[in-house]
Structure 1
Amino acid sequence: MAKTGVIYGINGPVVSLQGDPGFQMNEMVYVGRENLVGEVIGLTSEKTTIQVYEETSGLKPGEIVIGTGSPVSVTLAPGILNNIFDGIQRPLTEIAKGSGYYISRGISVNSLDTDKKWDTHLTVKKGERLMPGAIIAEVQETRAIVHKVMAPPDTEGYVLDVVSDGLYTIEEPLLTLQLMDGTERKLTMTQKWPIRIPRPAAKRFPAVKPLITGQRILDTMFPLAKGGTAAIPGGFGTGKTMTQHQVAKWADADVIIYIGCGERGNEMTQVLEEFSKLIDPKSGNPLMDRTTLIANTSNMPVAAREASLYSGLTLAEYYRDMGYHVAIMADSTSRWAEALRELSGRLEEMPAEEGFPAYLASRLSAFYERAGMMQNLNGTEGSVTIIGAVSPQGGDFSEPVTQNTKRFVRCFWGLDKSLSYARHFPAIHWLTSYSEYINDLAPWYMDHVDKKFVHNRNRLMAILNQESSLMEIVKLIGADVLPDDQKLVLEIAKVIRVGFLQQNAFHKDDTCVPLEKQFKMMEVILYLYKRSRTLISMGMPMSVLKEEDIFDKIISIKYDVPNDKPQMFQEYMKLIDEFYNRVMERNA
Structure 2
Amino acid sequence: MSRGTIKKVAGPLVIAEGMRDANMYDVVRVSNQRLIGEIIEMHGDQASIQVYEETSGLGPGEPVESMEVPMSVELGPGLIASIYDGIQRPLDDIMKISGNSLKRGVEVASLKRDKKWTFVPVAKPGDEVEAGDVLGTVQETIVVTQKIMVPYGIKGKVKDIKAGEFTVEEVVATIETADGDKELTMMQKWPVRKGRPYLKKLPPEMPLVTGQRVVDTFFPIAKGGVAAVPGPFGSGKTVIQHQLAKWAEADIVVYIGCGERGNEMTDVLNEFPELKDPKTGQSLMERTVLIANTSDMPVAAREASIYTGITIAEYFRDMGYSVALMADSTSRWAEALREMSGRLEEMPGEEGYPAYLGSRLAQFYERAGHVISLGKDQREGALSVIGAVSPPGGDISEPVSQATLRIVKVFWGLDASLAAKRHFPAINWLTSYSLYVDNMEHWFNEEVAADWMSNRQKLMGLLQDEAELEEIVKMVGMDALSPSDRLKMEAARSIREDFLHQNSFHEVDTYTSLRKQYLMMNLVIAFYEQSVDALEKGASVQKLISMEVREKIGRFKYTLENNLEEEYKKISDELVTEIANVLGKEDF
TM-score range, shorter chain: over 0.9
Partners in 2 of 1:85 and 1:198 — Cα distance? 20
Partners in 2 of 1:558 and 1:47 — Cα distance? 64
Partners in 2 of 1:469 and 1:549 — Cα distance? 28
Distance apart, 1:33 and its partner CA: 1.3
Q: State whether residues 20 and 44 of structure 1, in contact with CA within 8 Å, keep that contact through their aligned partners in structure 2.
A: no
Q: Residue 343 of structure 2 corresponds to which residue in structure 1?
A: 346
Partners in 2 of 1:7 and 1:48 — Cα distance? 10
Distance apart, 1:157 and its partner CA: 1.4
Partners in 1 of 2:20 and 2:95 — Cα distance? 35
Distance apart, 1:87 and its partner CA: 0.4
Partners in 1 of 2:19 and 2:288 — Cα distance? 42
Partners in 1 of 2:429 and 2:542 — Cα distance? 28
Comparing 433-442 with 532-541, which one deviates more in the overlay? Answer: 532-541
Q: Residue 40 of structure 2 corresponds to which residue in structure 1?
A: 41
Unaligned runs of 5+ in 1: none
Partners in 2 of 1:544 and 1:263 — Cα distance? 52
Q: TM-score, normalising length from structure 1?
A: 0.98
2:331 is aligned, of 331, 334, 339, to: 334
Distance apart, 1:203 and its partner CA: 0.4
Q: Residue 64 of structure 1 corresponds to which residue in structure 2?
A: 63
Q: Residue 173 of structure 2 corresponds to which residue in structure 1?
A: 175
Partners in 2 of 1:160 and 1:517 — Cα distance? 54
Q: Residue 271 of structure 2 corresponds to which residue in structure 1?
A: 274
1:286 aligns with 2:274: no
Partners in 1 of 2:20 and 2:261 — Cα distance? 39
Distance apart, 1:544 and its partner CA: 2.1
Distance apart, 1:543 and its partner CA: 1.6
Aligned to 2:171, what secondary structure does the other structure show? coil
Q: Residue 471 of structure 1 corresponds to which residue in structure 2?
A: 470
2:226 is aligned, of 212, 226, 229, to: 229
Distance apart, 1:20 and its partner CA: 3.2
| Misfit runs of 4+, over 6 Å | none
Q: Residue 309 of structure 1 corresponds to which residue in structure 2?
A: 306
> How is 1:431-510 mapped onto 2 (pairs within 5 angstroms)?
431-510=430-509
Q: Residue 25 of structure 2 corresponds to which residue in structure 1?
A: 26
Partners in 2 of 1:144 and 1:547 — Cα distance? 50
Partners in 2 of 1:436 and 1:555 — Cα distance? 29
Partners in 2 of 1:248 and 1:31 — Cα distance? 38
Matched residues, number: 584
Comparing 21-30 with 540-549, which one deviates more in the overlay? Answer: 540-549
Change (3 A) 1:352 1:187: same
Q: Residue 164 of structure 2 corresponds to which residue in structure 1?
A: 166
Partners in 1 of 2:43 and 2:18 — Cα distance? 8
Partners in 1 of 2:317 and 2:33 — Cα distance? 36
Q: TM-score, normalising length from structure 2?
A: 0.98
Aligned to 1:120, what secondary structure does the other structure show? strand
Distance apart, 1:540 and its partner CA: 2.2
Distance apart, 1:44 and its partner CA: 1.4
Partners in 1 of 2:373 and 2:545 — Cα distance? 58
Letter in 2 for 1:173: V
> How is 1:137-156 mapped onto 2 (pairs within 5 angstroms)?
137-156=136-155
Aligned to 1:504, what secondary structure does the other structure show? coil
Partners in 2 of 1:267 and 1:538 — Cα distance? 57
Aligned to 1:564, what secondary structure does the other structure show? helix
Partners in 2 of 1:296 and 1:200 — Cα distance? 27
Distance apart, 1:455 and its partner CA: 0.9
Letter in 1 for 2:384: T
Letter in 2 for 1:473: I
Partners in 2 of 1:80 and 1:274 — Cα distance? 19
Aligned to 2:326, what secondary structure does the other structure show? strand
Q: Residue 383 of structure 1 corresponds to which residue in structure 2?
A: 382
Partners in 2 of 1:514 and 1:482 — Cα distance? 36
Aligned to 2:497, what secondary structure does the other structure show? helix
Distance apart, 1:325 and its partner CA: 0.6
Partners in 2 of 1:255 and 1:487 — Cα distance? 47
Q: Residue 358 of structure 1 corresponds to which residue in structure 2?
A: 355
Distance apart, 1:469 and its partner CA: 0.7
Q: Residue 125 of structure 1 corresponds to which residue in structure 2?
A: 124
Aligned to 1:408, what secondary structure does the other structure show? coil
Q: State whether residues 87 and 296 of structure 1, in contact with CA within 8 Å, keep that contact through their aligned partners in structure 2.
A: yes
Aligned to 1:60, what secondary structure does the other structure show? coil
Aligned to 2:36, what secondary structure does the other structure show? strand
Distance apart, 1:553 and its partner CA: 2.8
Q: State whether residues 231 and 390 of structure 2, in contact with CA within 8 Å, keep that contact through their aligned partners in structure 1.
A: yes
Partners in 2 of 1:546 and 1:42 — Cα distance? 68
Q: Residue 550 of structure 1 corresponds to which residue in structure 2?
A: 549
Partners in 2 of 1:268 and 1:458 — Cα distance? 39
Partners in 2 of 1:128 and 1:551 — Cα distance? 65
Comparing 359-368 with 470-479, which one deviates more in the overlay? Answer: 470-479
Distance apart, 1:162 and its partner CA: 1.8
Partners in 1 of 2:114 and 2:106 — Cα distance? 19
Q: Deviations over 1:418-458 (max 9, x none)?
A: 00000000000000000011111111111211111111011
> How is 1:507-526 mapped onto 2 (pairs within 5 angstroms)?
507-526=506-525
Aligned to 1:270, what secondary structure does the other structure show? helix
Aligned to 2:268, what secondary structure does the other structure show? helix
Q: Residue 213 of structure 1 corresponds to which residue in structure 2?
A: 210
Q: Deviations over 1:52-98 (max 9, x none)?
A: 00010111111101111100000001000011100000011111111
1:254 aligns with 2:248: no
Aligned to 2:77, what secondary structure does the other structure show? coil
Q: State whether residues 12 and 300 of structure 2, in contact with CA within 8 Å, keep that contact through their aligned partners in structure 1.
A: yes
Aligned to 1:90, what secondary structure does the other structure show? coil
% identical equivalent positions: 50
Q: State whether residues 224 and 411 of structure 1, in contact with CA within 8 Å, keep that contact through their aligned partners in structure 2.
A: yes
Q: State whether residues 27 and 71 of structure 2, in contact with CA within 8 Å, keep that contact through their aligned partners in structure 1.
A: yes
